[in-house]
Structure 1
Amino acid sequence: MKKKKFLTIFLLAFSMILAACSSQEEDEKTNGNGNDEKTPKFMSILTGGTGGTYYPLGGSFAKIIKDETGIQANVETSGASAENMNSLKQGDAEIAFTQTDIASYAKSGKLMFKDNKVENVQAIATLYPETIQIVTTEKSGIKSMEDLKGKKVSVGAPGSGTVANAEQILELHGMTFDDIKKQDLSFDESTQGIQDGTIDAAFVTAGTPTGAVESLSATEDIVIVPIAGDKIDALIGKYPYYVKDEVPVGTYGLKNAASTVAVQAMLVARSDLSEKVVYDITKAIFENLDKVTHAKGKLIKVENGLNGVGIEVHPGAQKYFDEKGVKAQ
């Protein structure tokens, strides 16, 4: 009888030890945010329209993530930056491309996010300059920003970062959307409209060369409307997330470089993704950049990954950059 009682007590104690060990293992599988470290089987990456840079880059990233981590990453088209931030807020995807300025608006609840602040998104890394290209053709006769007055101008898809860029650049030239015949079109729709003659010009914020504009240059003589130096300085003074940029000679067949500005493209993630998952994704991308097929892949460098981020970095991404000794410059 005593032996049976002893055995019962022993088994009970043993089961409690196992339970405690199991609990400890579960605790060790969580990061500082309390997120489960279990690797998801599927993940959505929000990009932009098919004619921009986000979409083909997203395709390269998705393949790298699948090959290196085993996560089936699906690329989805979208209205780009602002829409992507809202979609992450709603839990409709895990990772997204956005502009640094739009991410900043979203996190601080400004401009288009005034009544819709986004709190559950953190940065993975900045990637490359997003050039603001004011696209038209030689036959339009548009040569300066002032020439846009009264013209049919696409300012980008609703909810995209391009809309904010267009508004701010027009503002520095003493104009508002009321001074143009505003059209809300994606990059593909914009270049098609220019080709068809239904619009005169379009704002395109994307890495150069941009696929939709390249396609247009096959049939039209492209003009990128330049922004004057004093206007660029004033714009940067008021909105510090802009930097000086240019569309180089030869791009789209240009005979002269066009002075303009840029923001940064960045990759962001939902903050409830585990540290391990985001670390693995960050490492996979930056250590396989040779597999990125788009020309912008050459501009993506680990040493620049924290430059101009502007929002909190996800702990998983921060861990990778810490290992590499990367700091914001």
Structure 2
Amino acid sequence: MGEFDLIARYFKRPARRAVLGVGDDCALLQPRPGTQMAISTDMLVAGRHFLTETDPCRLGHKSLAVNLSDLAACGAQPLAFTLALSLPRVDESWLAAFAQGLLALADAHGCELIGGDTTCGPLNICITVFGEVPVVAGRSQALLRSGAQPGDDIYVSGTLGDARLALDALLGKTVLPDDVLVATRLRLEQPTPRVALGLALRDVASAALDVSDGLLGDLGHILESSAMGATVDADVATSLIATRALSIRVRGQFNINLSEDKWRRYALSGGDDYELLFTAPAHLREAVQAASRASQTPVTRIGQINAEPGLRLIDSQGQPLANSYTSFDHFA
């Protein structure tokens, strides 16, 4: 099968929102009046971002999900995406499953594939996604990293740490019961982009981003962009590890042999969660909960923005904790 046959069979679809989609040298998008384009690119490299034995259907889902998560963090409505795919060989069963996972998520969010490239080489997936945000009275409604203010609450959506726990189990660094590994592996390989929550937070959140490299490291980007500090309750964040809560609920005790410090590391610096981390003024707490209900996405308040620079950790009793939790860095 040649390159163009591959594209036609697995990835070419009629254009819907795009003026012109797959098949020409360029795709054409026409932004609606009163909107801005939001654009993000993510690359997934085999052996670096995912294990080579990852189910291709889940890999297709995750490849787009991590990009939709960026749009969610910006409060952008997904429109379209391009796919650049490097393959070591043509494996039709792998391609069919990959395309199924990719396009099912695309359809769920009304985000159409409009172009890209394919080549022969090491397995590498690069997606560029396009979204739109309204401009009202000359002001963009995009959520940015730079708007946090002293006294703002810090929130995170969903759960934390389970994806990294699954990765450690798959790499043989820890042992999980089979049912727990199944649940955590789903969080690693098939994350849920919080698009609906991002849209609901447009007029509520003061700053936002998605948690890809670890909670504290990503919060640091908000603090740097906003020139602020923060205090985070490490015990509240750690309570958001679904695996730990499941272990308590089902068995009455932990049957996973991890120290408290290890649990905290998964929650605070684990990465691959793709949850939304955002700040909002304290007087908008009810509005935050309304956004949570409207998007059917749980959110938890984990700390507060401070004028004093630096990131401080406390426990549930308000006592300070040492911060030795570093997030993922490709070149560190």
Structure with the bigger percentage of helix:
1
Q: If the length of structure 2 is used for normalisation, what is the TM-score?
A: 0.25
* Larger-gyration structure (1/2): 1
Which structure shows the bigger proportion of residues in strand conformation? 2
